[in-house]
Amino acid sequence: MERLPKGETVCLIDGDSLLYYEMGKETLEEAIAGLDQRLSHILEQCNTTNYVGFLTYGKCFRYDVYPEYKARRKNNNRSILFPSLKEYSIQKYGFKYMEELEADDLVSYFSYTRPEKTIICSPDKDVLKQCTGMHYNYGKAEFVHTSPDEAIKFLWIQTLMGDSTDNIKGLPGVGIKTAENWLKDRTKDFESFALRKYVEQYGMVQGINEFHKNFRLVYLLKTAADLLDLGIDVDEVEAMYTTGYTSVVQLDLDLWEDE
């Protein structure tokens, strides 16, 4: 099987957001044309012809942690075109998915697996700010670099304040300004600080439980250990990494030469 050379840049694409951008079109043909154009533009801007796209398919593990996860989002906000666009992206472009995981988790996991060879392509704030490395925000058509210090601090800001978009409540009355102010001069011991804040709010037992629940909800998977903790087969996830893209021709490729 043909292999891509070492050092070749690969785009890790959040496919969910691509579909959301296009599902408001009047016809499926228009939505498909828009999806094609967006993907082509992403690869052109990133100066590569190689990508792996990821989708969320079904409910993820976070619903087991908190059944009200994303409860504020209404399924009827999705266009009737959404399922067809999802199937098109799988059939035409080989976008990948795995039950129990969200597209964000897969982008995050593989960005940490090969950080020196990837550009993370997503407009989602969780991915942009919690994953280290080079990002292409295709919503704003701009490149952003997130440092390890910025990524770890954002994770703990989210743990403290929650995420209203996903119905993750966080600490009562704590918004982004308060969380940022608490952590602005802190360079270590983020976990113990956040846990202490939860215990102060809820008491020992409930505070520990709320802390662990919210951390699991906001944390994007990054390591093989994260997958194993969820009972997910690491080899099965790694096997997803087998689709390359060259010009407008879809090829089956191993993405990298053997180390």
Task: State the alpha helices, DSSP H only, in 114-249.
Answer: 125-130, 148-161, 176-183, 190-202, 204-218, 224-229, 234-238
CA distance 55 to 145: 23
pLDDT digits (tens, 9 = 90+) for 16-60: 999 999 998 999 999 999 999 999 999 989 988 888 899 998 889
CA distances from 231 to 66, 123, 207 (A): 18, 29, 26
pLDDT digits (tens, 9 = 90+) for 169-187: 999 999 999 999 999 999 9
Q: Mind listing the domains of the chain with CATH numbers?
A: 10-147+221-250 (3.40.50.1010), 149-218 (1.10.150.20)
38, HSE (Cβ side, Cα atoms, 13 Å): 29
CB 108 within 8 A of CB 58: no
pTM for this model (two decimals): 0.87
- By mean pLDDT, which of 90-94, 120-124, 177-181 is the weakest? 90-94
